[in-house]
A and B are shown apart, each in its own frame.
Chain A
Amino acid sequence: MTRLLLSRRRFLTGAAVSASTVPLAGCFDSLGQRGGTARGVMESAQWLTYRVQRWMLGSDSLAQEYAESEIRQPQRPNGTTNPQDADYRRLVAEDFSGYRLSVSGMVAQPGTFSLDEIRAMPGRTQITRHDCVEGWSCIAKWTGVPLASVLDAVGVAPAARFVVFDCYDTMENGFTGPVKYYESIDMEDARHPQTILAYGCNDQPLSVANGAPLRVRVERQLGYKMAKYVRAITVTDTLAGFGEGGGGYWEDRGYEWFAGI
């Protein structure tokens, strides 16, 4: 009898434990509601993640660079791969001869740069690994001008904190018109030696699929930070007023602004 009772108790406990672990479908979906309490608690850890990353990456520590032999495939294009925006199509049609990168904001002398002017500046070539937030990686050789050189050419105000990249590609059509891709990085990353505005990939001019004529490389962060189809650069001390204020298209949709992990 004792045996029987014991085994029933065991069975009931077992059943309770099993039942509590099986279908939890949707139980934690409130975590996806941005602005909600549960989500807010989860997001509080982002501050810690950011501080630790900024501490680790405070120095000019470099992202690993690879040997030529590690380039085993073309760079995999992701996100927008062929913008249909009229102004961009015009640039493509004339092989970007009319392209002018505008640099403005908190700078001494706002200016514009043609692609030839950018290519004439001392360049940097690096073979690095592109890590997408989705989880895949691809190694490619990137050639471009250090962003620091462009910033020095226009003279950045001491109070400036961020560099914002405005892009040609439309991601979606919102109530107030097309929503274009944009991104931003802080001055430390902007002046990092491996942060370049790339115009070449794997010894070829940067293709439309990979962001022609210019795309950003921020090698110590994830792929979505590396804006393609860069139209203009704005130096600023606040990210408010750009997009929805999150500092980037994906950041406005719940992704971390500092994407080192």
Chain B
Amino acid sequence: MQVIDSRREGSTRRSFYIGAIYGIWAAIAASLTLPAFAYLLFPPKARREDEWVEVGDVTKLAPDTPVEMSFRRNRVDGWKITSEKSTAWVVKHSDNTVTAFGPQCTHLGCAYHWDERKTEFLCPCHNSLFAVDGRVVSGPAPRPLDRYETKIEGKKLLLGRLREGDKA
């Protein structure tokens, strides 16, 4: 049977067809993939302000001796809000200010503890050592301990957001 070979069709018309095909498919692909990237990569809109959580009585703390204090806080986890137990290592300084460290080593997230003999924080996983002010003394930890925002109302210690310790 006879066939009209499209490759020999009028060349302007043919290139118009081909140009339109490429252009339209590019437009469709862009209008599907760009929203998809935004959807997958942009962080979700925050639902609530960070709440301050009451942790305990600061007057009972001995100066410069870290104490692990536990508390419950609401965590927004996707579409869920879960109440979970959390802890902080709280240090009261001699000038009555308070620092509260996040409970995980900044190296790989192990739980560290206060070594009373060395008077340093020791992470048992890879032997990172942190000073009482959160500084890295030795070991693989890349940055100082993370700190909670703190606020003292009367005798009560309130904790806010956990902030990453700076490298400096």
The reply to whether chain A is a binding partner of chain B is no
Which of B's residues lie within 8 Å of A, judged by CB? none
Which of A's residues lie within 8 Å of B, judged by CB? none
